[in-house]
Chain A
C-alpha cells in the first residue's frame, strides 16, 4: 500500500480509516446544514434539560445557541462554535456535532448525533466550583420545529 510506511498505528482508529486515507482525494468537508434551525426538547419535565437550541451556519461554521430550562425564564447559555462530524469517513453528510460551553463554575460539553430525524444530545457536565455537586452526564432528545417561536 503506497505511503503505508509513513503511518503509525495510531494514525487511524479502524482499518477503514487506514485504507481510505490512501484512496482519498479532494476536500472532504462535512456539510453542517442539516443541523440549522430550531430544536426543542421532547421531554418538558426534566429539570436538567436543555430547553432549546438554535443553530445557524455562518461562514461555513455551525454556531450553536443554547437555552437551559430555568424558571421563570430560560437560561441563555450564549453561542458557541461546533465541530461537525459525518456518519462515516467517506461521507459529507452531517451526523453529529460537538460544542463546549464554559460557565466559569462548570463546563458543559455537548456531543450529539442525529437519529431518524431526532437529535440526541449527551452532555458531560464538570463542576469546578468545589460545591460538592457531582459531575454528571445527561442524554436528551430533540426535534426540529419550523419557526423560531418558542
Chain B
C-alpha cells in the first residue's frame, strides 16, 4: 500500500492516486466575520469568499473613525487531517512592504480565531508581535 512520503506517522494515508480532485470544503470559512471586541484596535472585519474553488480574504483594520481596507489576498484552506476534506483553518499573507502580516485562522465553536504575526520591515524599530482575536459571523 502506497502511503506517501512522511515526516510524521500520521501523514501516512492510503493514497488513491486516481487523479480525482479532492479539494477541501471551504464553506465553513465563507462569510463576513466581525471582531467580537467592538472597540478592537486590530482587524475589525474579515470578508472570506470562495471563487472557483479558491479562498480569498479581505481584511479591514480599525484605524480611526473608518475601517482601513487592506484589500483582498488569496488564502490556503486546511483540513484537520490528511484524510479529511472539511475546512478547519486557513492561512493568508499580507505584504505592504512596510509590514508583513501572516494570518493563521481556525474555526472553534462557531468562532473564527485569528492569530496574526506582524513583522515590520520599515526600520521603525517597532517590535514584531503577535495578536489573537475572535470573530463571529
**Interface of A toward B, CB cutoff 8 Å:** 8-18, 20-21, 24-30, 46-50, 68-71, 75, 77, 83-92, 95-96, 98, 101, 103-106, 108-109, 111, 113, 122, 124-127, 129, 131-139
Give residues 24-62 of B contacting A (CB, 8 Å): 24, 40-43, 61-62
Give 24 A-B contacts (CB < 8 Å), ordered by A residue: A8-B98, A10-B71, A11-B98, A24-B124, A25-B125, A27-B125, A28-B127, A47-B10, A49-B8, A69-B8, A75-B7, A75-B8, A83-B128, A86-B130, A95-B130, A111-B104, A113-B132, A122-B106, A126-B78, A132-B20, A135-B78, A135-B79, A137-B78, A138-B80
Contact A14 B79 (CB under 8 A): no
CA distance A14 to B66 in the complex (A): 12
Shortest beta-carbon contacts, A-B, top 8: A47-B10, A48-B10, A137-B78, A68-B8, A137-B89, A134-B79, A9-B68, A14-B41
Give residues 60-86 of B contacting A (CB, 8 Å): 61-64, 68-71, 76-85
Question: Which residues of chain B are near A101, meaning CB under 8 Å?
Answer: 7
